[in-house]
Chains A and B, each alone.
Chain A
Amino acid sequence: MKFGVVRFPGSCDEVDALRACERFGDAELLWHHDRDLHQVDAVIVPGGFSYGDYLRAGAIARFSPVMESVAEFAQGGGPVLGICNGFQVLCEAGLLPGALLPNKTLRFVFRQVELAVENPDTPFTRACARGDRLSIPAKHTTGRYYAPDEMLDELEANGQVVLRYAPGQNFNGALRDIAGVTNEAANVMGLMPHPEHAVDPLTGSTDGGRIFESLATAAVAA
């Protein structure tokens, strides 16, 4: 099992994601210029401020060479996880439904949040049970999940809403408390909170590890 973690100029959490992956399998960084995904079994698009994000968050990164290969990989059924800026990039690339808008406070917010697992039947959550609570830090300025009502209904009906902020935890104003969604085929997921920062008891929580563990076991099962 090998994870690939994309590195754009301006990525900030790519090394943290790499280390989190290494707890559950092999992992290497994938440089943004490089179209070769080095035969990885799963791709992580990490957090940060790709290309500075001075335009709309994720709007430039989606055009980088590596993202062409990531899109092909996803279309072939390969698992792709976008975290924070990675979620924004995947939405911009059209690999995930909906969009991320500025937080309702218009400020960057760092907070440890509780997430509820809504759908454990995905490659990203199979190590969890429905209703499990995960304590994971979130940190972003642009994390308010948005999609038109009909689309939200559809996402819910398809089980694509995988993670929700627990009651009282939705600080960014995300519609229907959505913290993480998948595409229809459930092989691409994006979430705003940072599971890679919740893999070591010393830094506060190990709940994020279950996302990486899920991916690792999913790859082995496949």
Chain B
Amino acid sequence: MNPVGAAADARHRELGLTDSEYDLICERLGREPNEVELAVFSLMWSEHCGYKHSKKLLRTLPTEGPAVVMGPGENAGAVDVGDGLAVAFKVESHNHPSAVEPFQGAATGVGGILRDVFAIGARPIATLDSLRFGELDSERSRFLLDRAVAGIGHYGNSIGVATVGGEIAFEHPYEHNCLVNAMCLGIAPRERLIRSAAAGVGNHLVLLGARTGRDGIGGASVLASAELDEDEDKRPSVQIGDPFEEKKLLECCLELLDRGLLASLQDLGAAGLSSSSSEMASKGEVGIDIDVSKVPLREAGMEPFEIMVSESQERMLCVVEPPRLDAVLATCTEWEVRATVIGEVTDSRRLRVLDDGEVVGDMPVEALVDDCPLYDLEPERPTRQIYPAPRATLRDDASPRDKLLALLASPGVASKRWAYEQYDSVVGSRTVRRAGAGDAAVLMLAPDGGTGAIAVAIDGNGRRVAVDPYTGAAEAVLECAFNLACVGAEPLGLTNCLNFGNPEKPHIAWQLIEAVRGLGDACRELGVPVVGGNVSLYNEGSEGPIYPTPVVGMVGSLPDPARVPGMGFAREGDTIALIGSFTHSLPGSELWKLEGRLGEGLPELDLASHAEALEIVRAAVRSGLISSAHDVSDGGLACALAECCIAGGLGARVEYHHGEGGDELLFGEGPGGVVVSGTHEALADLATRAGEVGFAMIGHVGGNSLEIAAGAARLNLPVVDLRTAWERALPDLLS
């Protein structure tokens, strides 16, 4: 063993490897790496593929649960939803590509997460998106929003997978580093799910789908694992999506799996062939030989290293037993999908790269996948808020009426119809609750031969995590769980995407550690396992880090989709109640943001009490006895009531006195409040079962305006004015 002095060659630094990492590579190879090997190592050991700053933290999250079929480590996680069916799901970021080229960045984000789901044999049935941009008074943010939404629609609509929900928030810290997180759900008979471990020495390695080009070279290391630098033109690193190619690939792969023709399947995502082949080999404890001269190319003269690291989209890699190869190729021909044998499974435990038979790279699989150094974070709690206060747009002495109208018209709270109208939310004939029609999307299982339905929500409020990383992250789990409870669903599992700044900076390290602790505690208390996820670090622009933004996507099941109530008030004369251990607080709230304040620290959570409240809301919804359910979220109780009025086209008269009055009662935020309506008898019955969980009858549905008396504060607004403020805000800002 003869470690070579790193300073002799600075090439590795350009590729994002440190000197000590380079030395370690030399040690594991017993020599200096050649160009192919260095390119492969630099990607496999990038943050994006190697999770070198986050793996230790992720291990602290709970991953076990009765419904879990596949946990972290596979292309997507999966849970059992009964009747022999499993639902696979995962969320993934495509932040930096979207900041560089929002249409293709967002489109290929959707394309990538779809491949993750059908790589394990599940048919994608729904996607959701969690988006963050700078404030809409910035032309750049409007451009990014417009193009990212168009890109998501382009890919999802064209491939025929319903986009059923999502969330969009606007905060200045995302101005130079927008976030595009895409989540996909797929469904499959349990026994069709397939793992990616390569098996069977002598089996063929077959590349399916698009030709390989120079697009996306080094995306994982250059774009995803370093801070964005505005001076450099990184557009060549962004991939171009082709949803038609992927549609054919999807149908072809599912048919190959249905007919039992594949030994294993893996998608090509970040780091292309390098990552997919070495991960398949690692999981299967085998070796793989790839001959790059056999890979179909888009352009002549590509170097072996370029072929190995290209991130060209719409490609899959599968392992096929020799007797089944003809049947595989015939099926691919029928679907007009390119299929090429590019290598074979070996017993060498090495990834060998050949160029027309000549060895041009030879690396131990273990070194690529398992030996990536893991770093301990060096956290330091900041002594004061590290983010500047938002710019004030509302006077803090405005009347409650004006505050409510300003909140409803603020882009974070306002109707997102402008965006979701650009998405097909019904293809597949499963969508019982579309985007905008409920707190969570509801998809029935009847088309797949199941009973009942699943529900899914995605949530994460970066501003609240910036105010308190532990509590803010736990709140994201609670928010999703309450969204699910409002449609009667019990959580089965969750996926998360941790979007943070540079973890090598102590304050960011502290945010990350606290947030993961909050996620873990909330998951354990609610009994929801984490079945997979993704980490996106180094989200910083020239003005500093983004808000720490853990995004949670949660999937649950419910027995009877016909009983799911709407979120809007449904009947004149119904009684309105507020259920839950709801604590109102203004730090981190939308109101304070409009007033130009951020705050520090959120009220301590009583997770056990929230778990109890969830059970009560879920049971009430499942009973079919309540007319509506909607959880209190951005903008507090007053906004939640306004949304119930707008959705139902009915007014309400509400009196709510609980401790101090004023802004806190009306606009204070916190998890765990659910506004329900129903007959007086139904709610009286519910009250007797509420036990220790908060329960207050607060008013009645009726008339054409929303009247609220909360403590000393009073407001009275016609529903039509509420609706105008809420519905017109985004179209007006974007016109």
Tell whether B727 is near chain A: CB-to-CB under 8 Å: no
Output the nearest chain B residue to A198 by Cβ-Cβ distance: B426
The verdict on B451 contacting chain A, using a C-beta distance below 8 Å, is no
Q: Which residue of chain A has the shortest Cβ distance to B562 in the bound complex?
A: A202
B244 within 8 A of A: yes
Residue from the list B244, B422, B444, B561 in contact with A49, Cβ < 8 A:
B244
B residues near A139, Cβ cutoff 8 Å: 157, 424, 426-427
Most B C-beta atoms less than 10 A away, residue of A12, A16, A54, A194: A12
Chain A residues lying within 8 Å of B153, measured Cβ to Cβ, are: 108
Say how far B246's CB is from chain A's closest CB, in angstroms: 10
Indicate which residue in A12, A54, A111, A200 contacts B160 across the interface (CB closer than 8 Å).
A12
Is B428 interfacial (CB 8 A cutoff)? Answer: yes
Query: What is the chain A residue whose CB lies nearest that of B431?
Result: A203
Q: Tell me whether A51 is interfacial, beta carbon within 8 Å.
A: yes
CB of A48 within 8 A of CB of B160, answer yes
The residues of A that contact B427 with a CB separation of less than 8 Å are 12-13, 16, 139, 197
Contact check: which of A15, A49, A200 meets B158 at CB < 8 Å? A49
Taking the complex as formed, is B247 at the interface, i.e. its CB lies under 8 A from any CB of chain A?
yes
What's the minimum C-beta distance from A7 to chain B, rounded to whole angstroms?
Answer: 9
**Does A52 have its Cβ within 8 Å of any Cβ on chain B?**
yes
Pairwise interchain contact B422-A108, C-beta atoms closer than 8 A: yes
**Which residues of A are found within 8 Å of B432, using beta-carbon distances?**
202-203
B158 / chain A contacts, CB cutoff of 8 Å: 10, 12, 49, 52-53
The reply to whether A9 and B425 contact each other, CB–CB distance below 8 Å, is no
A197-B423 Cα distance, complex, nearest whole Å: 15
State whether B561 touches A110 (Cβ < 8 A). Answer: no
A9 in contact with B429 given A48-B160, A111-B421 (CB within 8 Å)? no
Q: Could you tell me the distance between the alpha carbons of A196 and B430 in the complex, rounded to whole angstroms?
A: 12
**Chain B contacts for A2, CB-based, 8 A:** none
What bracket does the count of chain A residues touching chain B fall in?
20 to 34
Residue of B nearest to A200 (CB): B429
Q: Which residues of A contact B428 (CB under 8 A)?
A: 15-16
> Does A109 touch B at the CB level, under 8 Å?
yes
Which residues in chain B, 403-430, are within 8 Å of chain A measured between CB atoms? 420-430
Q: Is A19 at the interface (CB under 8 A from chain B)? A: yes
Within 8 A of B (CB), among A139-178: 139
Interface readout for B438-451 with A: 1 if CB under 8 Å, 0 if not? Answer: 00000010010000
Whether B387 is near chain A, meaning CB under 8 Å from some CB there, is no
Q: What CA separation (Å) do A54 and B245 show in the bound complex?
A: 11
Checking A52, A108, A110 against B243 with a beta-carbon cut-off of 8 angstroms, the contacting residue is: A52
**Is A35 part of the contact surface with B, judged by Cβ < 8 Å?**
no
Give the CA-CA distance A19 to B422 in the complex, in Å.
25
Q: Can you name the residue of chain A whose Cβ is closest to the Cβ of B447? A: A19
- Could you give, for residues 18-57 of chain A, a 1 whenever the CB lies within 8 Å of some chain B CB and a 0 otherwise? 0110000000000000000000000000001101111000
Which residues of B (239-254) have their CB < 8 Å from a CB of A? 242-245, 247-248, 251
On whether the beta carbons of B244 and A51 are closer than 8 Å, the reply is: yes
B244 touches A197 (CB 8 A): no
Q: Which listed residue (B242, B244, B431) contacts A9, Cβ 8 A?
A: B244
- B430 CB contacts on chain A under 8 angstroms: 203
Check B160 against A9 for contact (C-beta < 8 Å). Answer: no
Residues of chain A within 8 A of B562, CB atoms compared? 202
Q: Does B335 contact A (CB under 8 A)?
A: yes
| CA of A148 to CA of B423, assembled, Å | 31
Task: Verify A109–B421 contact, CB threshold 8 A.
Answer: yes
Task: Find out whether the CB atom of B422 lies under 8 angstroms from the CB atom of A203.
Answer: no
Please tell me which one of the listed residues B157, B336, B561 contacts residue A108 in the complex, with CB atoms under 8 A apart: B157
**CA A182 – CA B428 in complex, angstroms?**
27
Q: Is B159 an interface residue (CB 8 A)?
A: yes
Beta-carbon nearest neighbor of A49 in chain B: B158
State the Cβ distance, A47 to closest chain B Cβ, in Å: 8
Q: Nearest Cβ distance between residue B252 and chain A, in whole angstroms?
A: 10
- Let me know if A107 is at the binding interface, CB within 8 A: yes
Shortest distance from the beta carbon of B726 to any chain A beta carbon, whole Å: 18
A49 to B423, CA, bound (A): 14
Q: B150 at the A/B interface (Cβ < 8 Å)?
A: yes
Quick check: A203 and B429 within 8 Å, CB to CB? yes
Residues from 193 to 207 in A contacting B, C-beta threshold 8 Å: 194, 196-197, 199-200, 202-204
With most chain B CB atoms within 10 A of its CB, the pick from A52, A110, A139 is: A110
B243: A residues at CB distance < 8 A: 49, 52
Q: A13 near B157 (CB under 8 angstroms)?
A: no
B247:A10 contact, CB within 8 angstroms: yes
A137: interface (CB < 8 Å):
yes
Interface string of A195-222 (1 = CB under 8 A from B): 0110110111000000000000000000
- Indicate whether A197 sits within 8 Å of B159 (C-beta atoms), given known contacts A9-B336, A10-B247, A108-B422: no
Nearest CB of chain A from residue B243's CB, rounded to whole Å: 7
B73 to chain A, nearest CB (A): 32
Considering the complex of A and B, which 7 residue pairs feature the smallest CB-CB distances, nearest first?
A12-B160, A52-B244, A16-B429, A49-B158, A139-B424, A197-B426, A202-B432
Beyond A108-B424, A139-B427, 9 additional contacts (C-beta under 8 Å) are A12-B160, A15-B429, A49-B243, A53-B158, A54-B244, A108-B157, A202-B444, A202-B561, A203-B429
The interface of chain B, by Cβ under 8 A from chain A, is 150, 153-154, 157-160, 242-245, 247-248, 251, 335-336, 420-432, 434, 444, 447, 561-562
- Provide 26 A-B residue pairs closer than 8 Å at the C-beta atoms, listed in order of the A residue: A9-B244, A9-B248, A9-B335, A10-B158, A10-B248, A12-B159, A13-B160, A13-B427, A15-B428, A16-B427, A19-B447, A48-B160, A49-B157, A49-B247, A52-B243, A54-B244, A108-B422, A110-B420, A110-B423, A110-B424, A139-B157, A139-B424, A197-B429, A200-B429, A203-B429, A203-B444
